[in-house]
């Protein structure tokens, strides 16, 4: 019996040992260490942007895309890549079509961050889309630098990662209204689209009108994608103002001018926010654009210059060589957006978000587009707004005086006398 128990004990021990061996994890297998990146391997900075290719902002979105594209070609092919410390990085830019829709813009920015793993973001066209896109950037602590969202509320949210190279919307009409008041204008009416950017422009127009002694006779709003402004223009015709101010986007400029002519509404000056500085407005509306005034962020005739693109005129020539058309200010400010990020990365000598953010906050440069110097809210505090007037089919700077190439023609003659 004792021998049987001993044998059973030995069998049990052997069985337990075999079970333990079966349950034990396999012995680690030595694998070769991952190869270190080659010193000659190309280093890449990934940028992302959601910009309208279709939808309401397709025209301005094209200018934005082309502005980014010019900088991208130049920085990779001529400049040799962004210098980060002792290394040079080529740049890849991933762009998606936001279709002019804020929800789509937000979704695509999230895709750029989480799926494409971009290092930094460039902004869309319009304050309308920048509002939602920048909220996603802030959520993920990702820097977004932009040149096409000027509405004041964008910069009142306490965001740490939004920077804008353009002059804020509240100052869009300042130069024009100051100039017109000096020419003897006394009254003004204002129509604007009921969205963030035009609202900021209109609020600014009312402020500057009061500042320069202009009486505001009437203010009207209209919805996004308006197709007819004749009702507003009829009301304003009865008020007989010296100045009409229209705050909206390119298509609105077309509507304002055509309605004014059809209704024989004859303000002595028409100041329209977006459109007059774009040669395509002259192509679309023709001679009826004569005397129309518009704010401008930039024109090729301005005296700004830098060590990257040269003078404003040289930048314009480069752009036209690449894209076959002259640059709008939306295109120029898009190039300046990418250039400002480029300069900040080089000054930071790092791709670290905190380091680049600090460099942006300390940036103080003059570019082909003008001064760039961000305040604590991320706005460009250093750049004045210009004003242009269409004269003999040309877009000419009439203000400020140190940038003007022509005198303002005021008052505009009635439609029947043109």
Q: How large is the average pLDDT for residues 367-386?
A: 95
Mean pLDDT for all residues in the chain: 91
CA nearest neighbour of 92 among 138, 60, 125, 49: 49
At 381-412, the pLDDT tens digits run: 989 899 999 999 999 999 988 789 999 999 99
**Residue 32 or 361, more confident:** 361
Looking at the structure, do residues 292 and 405 belong to the same domain, yes or no?
Answer: yes
Report d(CA 343, CA 84) in Å as an integer. Answer: 10
Looking at 71-85, 103-117, 390-404, which range is the least confident one?
Answer: 390-404
Q: What is the pLDDT of residue 84?
A: 98
Is residue 77 situated within a structural domain? yes
In contact, 247 and 177? CB cutoff 8 Å? no
Q: How would residue 26 be classed by pLDDT, with cut points 50, 70 and 90?
A: very low
Looking at the structure, do residues 333 and 276 belong to the same domain, yes or no?
Answer: no
Q: How would residue 23 be classed by pLDDT, with cut points 50, 70 and 90?
A: very low
Q: How would residue 40 be classed by pLDDT, with cut points 50, 70 and 90?
A: low
Is residue 31 situated within a structural domain? no
Nearest-Å Rg of the Cα atoms of the chain is 29
Report d(CA 167, CA 149) in Å as an integer. Answer: 10
Report d(CA 278, CA 276) in Å as an integer. Answer: 5
Report the relative pairing of strands 87-96 and 187-193 from DSSP bridges. Answer: unpaired
Please name the residue ranges forming H helices in 267-386: 279-285, 312-323, 329-348, 353-361
Is residue 115 situated within a structural domain? yes
In contact, 366 and 100? CB cutoff 8 Å? no
Q: How large is the average pLDDT for residues 15-35?
A: 36
How would you write 84-100 as a 3-class SS string?
ECCEEEEEEEEEECCCC
Looking at the structure, do residues 312 and 368 belong to the same domain, yes or no?
Answer: yes
Q: What is the pLDDT of residue 15?
A: 40
At 307-364, the pLDDT tens digits run: 999 999 999 999 999 999 999 999 999 999 999 999 999 999 999 999 999 999 999 9
Sign, Cα dihedral of 47, 334, 344, 108: negative
At 241-288, the pLDDT tens digits run: 999 999 989 999 999 999 999 999 999 999 999 999 999 999 999 999
> What's the gap between Cα 215 and its chain centre?
33
Looking at the structure, do residues 132 and 194 belong to the same domain, yes or no?
Answer: no
Residue 179 has pLDDT above 50, yes or no: yes
Is residue 284 situated within a structural domain? yes
Looking at the structure, do residues 105 and 207 belong to the same domain, yes or no?
Answer: no
Is residue 16 situated within a structural domain? no
Total count of domains within the chain: 2
Looking at the structure, do residues 71 and 178 belong to the same domain, yes or no?
Answer: no
> What's the gap between Cα 34 and its chain centre?
41
Full domain range(s) for residue 54 = 43-167+301-372
Residue 369 has pLDDT above 60, yes or no: yes
Exposure string (b/e) for 315-340, b if CB count within 10 Å is 16 or more? bbbbbeeebeeebbbbbbbbbbbbbb
If you count them, how many residues does the chain have? 418
Residue 19 has pLDDT above 60, yes or no: no
Looking at the structure, do residues 315 and 354 belong to the same domain, yes or no?
Answer: yes
In contact, 149 and 127? CB cutoff 8 Å? yes
Looking at the structure, do residues 237 and 268 belong to the same domain, yes or no?
Answer: yes
Is residue 73 situated within a structural domain? yes
Q: What is the pLDDT of residue 219?
A: 99
Looking at the structure, do residues 239 and 162 belong to the same domain, yes or no?
Answer: no
Looking at the structure, do residues 391 and 245 belong to the same domain, yes or no?
Answer: yes
Q: How many helices (H) and strands (E) does the chain have?
A: 12, 17
Percent with pLDDT over 70 in the chain? 90
Is residue 194 situated within a structural domain? yes
Looking at the structure, do residues 57 and 144 belong to the same domain, yes or no?
Answer: yes
Query: How distant, in Å, are the alpha carbons of 14, 28, 31 from that of 25?
Result: 19, 9, 17
Is residue 196 situated within a structural domain? yes
Q: What is the pLDDT of residue 181?
A: 98
Looking at the structure, do residues 103 and 139 belong to the same domain, yes or no?
Answer: yes
What is the CATH classification number for the domain harbouring 346? 3.40.50.2300
**Residue 25 or 335, more confident:** 335
> What's the gap between Cα 51 and its chain centre?
9
């Amino acid at each position: 019996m004792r021998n049987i128990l001993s044998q059973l004990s030995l069998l049990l021990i052997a069985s337990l040992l075999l079970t333990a061996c079966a349950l034990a994890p396999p012995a680690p297998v030595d694998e070769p260490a991952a190869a270190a990146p080659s010193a000659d391997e190309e280093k890449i900075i990934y940028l992302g942007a959601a910009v309208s290719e279709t939808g309401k902002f397709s025209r301005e979105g094209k200018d934005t895309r082309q502005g980014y594209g010019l900088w991208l070609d130049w920085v990779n092919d001529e400049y040799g890549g962004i210098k980060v410390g002792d290394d040079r990085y080529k740049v890849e830019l991933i762009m998606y079509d936001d279709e002019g829709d804020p929800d789509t813009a937000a979704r695509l920015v999230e895709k750029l961050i989480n799926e494409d793993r971009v290092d930094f973001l460039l902004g869309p066209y319009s304050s309308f889309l920048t509002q939602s896109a920048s909220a996603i950037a802030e959520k993920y602590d990702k820097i977004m630098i932009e040149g096409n969202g000027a509405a004041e509320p964008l910069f009142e949210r306490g965001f740490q990662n939004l920077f804008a190279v353009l002059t804020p919307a509240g100052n869009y009409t300042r130069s024009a209204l100051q100039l017109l008041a000096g020419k003897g204008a006394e009254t003004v009416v204002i129509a604007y689209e009921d969205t963030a950017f035009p609202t900021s422009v209109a609020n600014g127009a009312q402020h500057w009108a009061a500042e320069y002694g202009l009486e505001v006779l009437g203010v009207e709003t209209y919805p996004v994608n308006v197709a007819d402004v004749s009702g507003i223009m009829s009301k304003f015709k009865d008020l007989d103002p010296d100045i009409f101010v229209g705050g909206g986007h390119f298509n609105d400029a077309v509507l304002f001018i055509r309605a004014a002519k059809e209704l024989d509404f004859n303000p002595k000056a028409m100041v329209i926010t977006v459109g007059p500085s774009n040669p395509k407005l002259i192509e679309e509306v023709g001679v009826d654009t004569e005397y129309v005034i518009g704010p401008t962020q930039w024109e090729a005739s301005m005296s700004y210059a830098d060590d990257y693109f040269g003078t404003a005129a040289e930048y314009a020539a480069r752009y036209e060589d690449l894209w076959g058309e002259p640059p709008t200010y939306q295109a120029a400010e898009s190039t300046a957006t990418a250039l400002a990020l480029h300069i900040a990365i080089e000054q930071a000598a790092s791709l670290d978000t905190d380091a680049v953010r600090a460099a942006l906050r300390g940036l103080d440069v003059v570019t082909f587009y003008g001064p760039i110097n961000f305040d604590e809210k991320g706005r460009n505090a250093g750049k004045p707004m210009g004003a242009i007037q269409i004269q003999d089919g040309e877009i000419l700077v009439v203000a400020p005086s140190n940038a003007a190439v022509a005198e303002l023609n005021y008052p505009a003659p009635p439609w029947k006398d043109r």
